[in-house]
Structure 1
Amino acid sequence: MKIQLPLKKGTPNTQPEIEFEQLVIIGANGSGKTRFGANIEERYKKFSHRVSAQKTLSIPNFVSTKSKEVAESEFLYGSWDKNDYYKNSGWRDSRWGGNINTFLLNDYEKLMVLLHTEEYESSLNYKEKGGEKPNTKLDRIQKIWEIVLPHRRLSKKAGVIETYPTGEVEQIYNASEMSDGERVIFYLAGEVVCSPENSIIIIDEPEMHIHKSLIKILFDLIENERQDCSFVYLTHDIDFAFTRQNATKIWAKSYESTGLWDYEILDNTMPIPEQLYLEVLGSRKPIIFLEGDNSSIDYEIYEQIYFNYTLKPLGSCDKVIECVKSFNELEGFHNIQSYGIVDRDRRQIGDVINLNKKQIWVLDVAEAENLLLIENIVKALATHMGKNADEVFLQVKSNLISFFSSQLESQILLHYKELLRREYYKLSNFQSQKIDDTEIEINSLFEAINKRELYNNIKSDFETAITNNDYNTVLRLFNLKKALIPESKVCELIGIRNKEEYRKMVITLLKRKDENATILREGIDLMVIKNVT
């Protein structure tokens, strides 16, 4: 979605234009975040829907259905009339009571009426015309709600929603008696599911009444449910902001005057400004530094695996190692634990052990992209696409090992080159104090390097992997960026057009937070070496 932001203080004042899928406006209380969101809503009113922080969460015990046209209009615009007055110009007065910034939004009943109306009409249409069983808006909300709150279940009846503990139907009670957290999770999911197609959904204080452990799961599911929409979040909670890892972030400093804000669009490659930490609560989660950037595959994958960590891509492996070292040296000052994850590349086991001691975790595959080809991911995607998982994996395995065999000599030499580089680096660690003695020591160390033996050992390891048909070892050894997925033929085998679609499907399955996603996360986590000795 491309929009023009509200007027930004400067010399001269400007209205930046940005393109985004998720936008987080973060700032202290009183910095003008709500007005910022209302400004966007008013300028893009024909395709936006805003959820106020000031809202009543009172669920009616029972609602009656209406015509779908009336129910939708009352939900979206506050009222209905056949001339579309409220839709076109009267929505400020009807939905927002004439004050779009501070009015207490009271639309839970309108939401429930719309949901039950759509449920009734979908069921009636299915009864009369047959076809595929409808997946109603209530069905979609129920799925999200029960994933976020796995210890509870929802029950739908005519005009009524009830809830009960999982496996204890006899303890059922009306949804009006749900806790604030349970009600707001249903409400937010409902507001998003019922928003118009391809709209901007603006949510003020999305973290309100929701336990921090549930926030990431909820909004991952909500965003995944409405991939056609763009999301704007208004928050003072930096922990929430960190859960929207790929979002464009704006620091709202202050509301200067009518229609003018002092704000800053944060550069994703730079750390969040120190002032922001002083104005809002800082994240107290442990941090994991990563290679790559916000768009790299390792960042996308780890974001779905390590929920309880703040992730920070730094670019190079050396920066990750350096930053973890520096950060942990200051742990007594900030009390935040720091870790790093780096690719295996061509590291020997001794190198992995030394990195683990420094709280650097190492992939057990050559590079992050190889994670997409581990067995349980290939099988999960094959099953998802209706293919025989075992047959697909066996063919992928055969294709990849065959391709590895064709690249054997070049791969051996790459590993050999890296091993020699490390051996030669050791020559600089001489102990002698005089140049004559130093030359003797270096020459002695150099002559002690058996270059042919190093090569033969690497060659033997590679050939053994092929002889044993050892797929996991091949993934650990095989460094050839962007080639492995195409050469494995996995996309053709499961019916996906290209590598990018394959990658997106992996992330989508991980975001679902169901049993299959748990299996995928655990499988990937096992490929990260953390405590080898």
Structure 2
Amino acid sequence: MSFVIELPNRTGQGDPESIDSSGHIVLIGANGSGKTRLGIWIEQYHQTKYTVHRISAQKALSIPEFAQLKNLEQAEKDLTFGRHDKHAVVDRKVIDRWGNTPATFLLDDYDKLLSLLFAKSAERDRKYTEQSRQAQTYVPVTDAPIDTIVKVWGDIMPHREIKFLDGKVLVKKTDDPEYHGKEMSDGERVALYLIGQCLCARDNSIIIIDEPEIHLHKSLVDKLWNKVEELSQSKTIVYITHDLDFASSRTDANKIWIKSFSGNNTWTWTEVPDEDSLPESMILEVLGSRKKIMFCEGEAGSLDATIYQIAYPDYHVIPRGGCEKVIESTKALRNNEALHHLGAVGIIDSDYRTPEEVLALESHGIQTILVAEIENIFCVEAAVRIVAEHLAQDPDDAVRQVTQFVSTALTNELELQITSMAERRIQYLLGAFSKSSNDKSGLVSGLNVTLEHIDVDRIYGECKLEFDKAIASTSLDKLLRVYNRKSLPSRISGLLGLANGEYKKLLVRLLKSPKQQAVVAALRHYLPSLP
């Protein structure tokens, strides 16, 4: 279902404005900027046209000893409207669900959520029993939301096992006795609550989440919401946050900066550029991780981090900015006696590196991808074909157009690319300088030895030959192996009928969709194999 989501006119006057709702939405703003009240406005403005389910930041996280067992209709109405009788209607939700104070009301519905989860399982079991009796043979068992929660929980919290039994939530830590869910930490309880709320929200609904990062460790936030988005294909999530790290992690979302609230449903707001992102702290990431560590280039929420997090689910991915920081961090962690057991690895762009340099880096646990820049991996033939098929276009024609465009673009700046590659290789050779003895003559001698290995004519010729071969091959993948230009994904958007920059966003969305396996398989050909 396609939603038309609107916000109050940014000028304070006139009709509401439609915003890009092709993906999820992030409302960002400082404390006191009116974010929560804008969330309420969105709920009340849209709930007569769509199903809207809002989760406030003020919520009780107390898990009951036993969930009250109800039938499915009762449980759904209780969670959605705050009551299940004939008065359970949208017009009364602000009273019955929000106590007539939607901005400050303490939402206390954990018991209602658990009742609905158990009711959905009971309904699944009832239908399964009927089907089995009629078929008189094995019938595949579909997952109820509880089954999905157990699987998701195992992915994001591998050190905890959760199960639902006879109206109770039970948890077991590795090698420790089982205990009741009410003894879980705040982070664990809110994770269960948020996953359950999003799974139980009706299909084709808008879910509004106020402070989605609250109580959650930074190492858990991205994993949880990536998985929730993957499981919410028919739903649009509107996040309300003041955490820029969280906002930047929603790479394919439309981000809106809430500047101020003037009362009378008047907000000052503007769209946030896609490039905005902030780095995360390495120490917090390492301490919060239960998995092996992977360092990559880019910042929190960057394309690098998004791809590697999905492509390498057994690793905790930490962006470190430039390649030098990745190399430095990987070596430091691997050489630290107290932390080397984390099995740190690094992944960097090939970025004009010679085979000799690649091998040297591999000895330190640092791998290179098989394209010049991580952005290029979105332009490889396999990725172009997937996007073309998704858009119901001819994949062969799309690949031909993209190949011709990339080849022409490279040819137009060939001298720049050749000299840039040569420059990078000369810099690498200069990095091998060392004095031959501990005196002035040792410095001179060492420099002379280094310079003797730098033949500019030979290096230039070798680089030119690499580019000439790539262009002559008419192979898109070979062109992307050497062509160093970050803007390529944005520049090819128009070739597939997309707005500038939309190609990359669409592919990120496909990475979180049922097509994820096909996209990851396509990209893995250009990514290193890791344990």
Tell me the SS of whatever aligns to 1:294.
coil
State the Cα deviation string for residues 115-138 of structure 1 (Å, max 9, x = none). Answer: 9xxxxxxxxxxxxxxxxxxxxxxx
Which of 220, 228, 238 does residue 219 from structure 1 map onto?
A: 228
Distance 2:142 2:518 in 1: 33
In the TM superposition, what are the counterparts of 1:393-472 in structure 2 within 5 Å? 393-426=399-432, 428-436=433-441, 438-440=443-445, 442-443=447-448, 445-447=450-452, 449-472=454-477
Distance 1:504 1:481 in 2: 15
Query: Given residue 202 of structure 2, which amino acid in structure 1 is its aligned partner?
Result: V
Look up the match of 1:498: 500
Are residue 479 (structure 1) and residue 465 (structure 2) matched?
Answer: no
Query: Given residue 465 of structure 1, which amino acid in structure 2 is its aligned partner?
Result: A
Note the C-alpha offset of 1:191: 2.9
Whether the 8 Å contact between 1:412 and 1:462 is mirrored in structure 2 is yes
Tell me the SS of whatever aligns to 2:393.
coil
Task: Say how many residue pairs are matched.
Answer: 415
Identical aligned pairs, as a percentage? Answer: 19
Look up the match of 1:528: 527
State the Cα deviation string for residues 274-328 of structure 1 (Å, max 9, x = none). Answer: 7x99xxx832211111222124221222222122222211212111111111111
Tell me the SS of whatever aligns to 2:236.
coil
Which of 346, 351, 355 does residue 349 from structure 1 map onto?
A: 355
Distance 1:173 1:389 in 2: 34
Distance 1:418 1:81 in 2: 71
Are residue 271 (structure 1) and residue 290 (structure 2) matched?
Answer: no
Query: Given residue 493 of structure 1, which amino acid in structure 2 is its aligned partner?
Result: L
Distance 2:207 2:147 in 1: 31
Query: Given residue 517 of structure 2, which amino acid in structure 1 is its aligned partner?
Result: T
Query: Given residue 279 of structure 2, which amino acid in structure 1 is its aligned partner?
Result: T
Query: Given residue 522 of structure 2, which amino acid in structure 1 is its aligned partner?
Result: G
Note the C-alpha offset of 1:44: 6.3
Look up the match of 1:33: none
Look up the match of 2:188: none
Note the C-alpha offset of 1:530: 5.4
Whether the 8 Å contact between 2:305 and 2:319 is mirrored in structure 1 is yes
Which of 271, 296, 318 does residue 324 from structure 2 map onto?
A: 318
Whether the 8 Å contact between 1:397 and 1:471 is mirrored in structure 2 is yes
Distance 1:438 1:112 in 2: 76
Gaps of 5+ in 2: 1-5, 8-24, 29-34, 44-53, 151-162, 165-191, 252-276
Query: Given residue 356 of structure 1, which amino acid in structure 2 is its aligned partner?
Result: E
Note the C-alpha offset of 1:348: 0.5
Query: Given residue 478 of structure 2, which amino acid in structure 1 is its aligned partner?
Result: T
Query: Given residue 512 of structure 2, which amino acid in structure 1 is its aligned partner?
Result: K
Tell me the SS of whatever aligns to 2:206.
coil
Look up the match of 1:77: 82
State the Cα deviation string for residues 224-264 of structure 1 (Å, max 9, x = none). Answer: 5433422689xxxxxxxx9998279xxxxxxxxxxxxxxxx
Q: 1:293 to 1:156 in 2, by over 3 A?
A: farther
Tell me the SS of whatever aligns to 2:319.
strand
Whether the 8 Å contact between 2:435 and 2:446 is mirrored in structure 1 is yes
Look up the match of 1:127: none
Q: 1:231 to 1:108 in 2, by over 3 A?
A: farther
Whether the 8 Å contact between 2:294 and 2:345 is mirrored in structure 1 is yes
Whether the 8 Å contact between 1:344 and 1:364 is mirrored in structure 2 is yes
Whether the 8 Å contact between 1:52 and 1:203 is mirrored in structure 2 is no
Query: Given residue 284 of structure 1, which amino acid in structure 2 is its aligned partner?
Result: R
State the Cα deviation string for residues 350-382 of structure 1 (Å, max 9, x = none). Answer: 111111111111121111111110111100000
Distance 1:270 1:200 in 2: 22
Distance 1:417 1:350 in 2: 16
Distance 2:385 2:148 in 1: 40
Tell me the SS of whatever aligns to 1:527.
coil
Look up the match of 2:249: 246
Distance 2:89 2:401 in 1: 62
Distance 1:434 1:458 in 2: 36
Look up the match of 1:170: 139
Note the C-alpha offset of 1:437: 5.7
Which of 191, 199, 216 does residue 200 from structure 2 map onto?
A: 191
Q: 1:43 to 1:101 in 2, by over 3 A?
A: farther
Distance 1:179 1:401 in 2: 46
Q: 1:419 to 1:49 in 2, by over 3 A?
A: closer
Q: TM-score when scaled to structure 1?
A: 0.62
Distance 1:436 1:417 in 2: 28
Q: TM-score when scaled to structure 2?
A: 0.62
Tell me the SS of whatever aligns to 1:431.
coil
Q: 1:339 to 1:327 in 2, by over 3 A?
A: same
Q: 1:388 to 1:492 in 2, by over 3 A?
A: same
Distance 1:109 1:376 in 2: 45
Query: Given residue 524 of structure 1, which amino acid in structure 2 is its aligned partner?
Result: L
Are residue 308 (structure 1) and residue 314 (structure 2) matched?
Answer: yes
Are residue 229 (structure 1) and residue 238 (structure 2) matched?
Answer: yes
Q: 1:202 to 1:192 in 2, by over 3 A?
A: farther
Note the C-alpha offset of 1:517: 1.8
Tell me the SS of whatever aligns to 1:199.
strand
State the Cα deviation string for residues 43-73 of structure 1 (Å, max 9, x = none). Answer: 966743358644678697965699xxxx758
Tell me the SS of whatever aligns to 1:229.
strand
Note the C-alpha offset of 1:475: 0.8
Are residue 292 (structure 1) and residue 298 (structure 2) matched?
Answer: yes
Q: 1:231 to 1:307 in 2, by over 3 A?
A: farther
Whether the 8 Å contact between 2:436 and 2:442 is mirrored in structure 1 is no
Q: 1:169 to 1:285 in 2, by over 3 A?
A: same
Q: 1:388 to 1:439 in 2, by over 3 A?
A: same
Distance 2:337 2:61 in 1: 36
Tell me the SS of whatever aligns to 1:105.
helix
Distance 2:132 2:327 in 1: 49
Distance 1:505 1:439 in 2: 55
Distance 2:140 2:446 in 1: 80
State the Cα deviation string for residues 450-508 of structure 1 (Å, max 9, x = none). Answer: 321222122222212222223322211111231x3455xx4233221122x11111111
Q: 1:282 to 1:447 in 2, by over 3 A?
A: closer
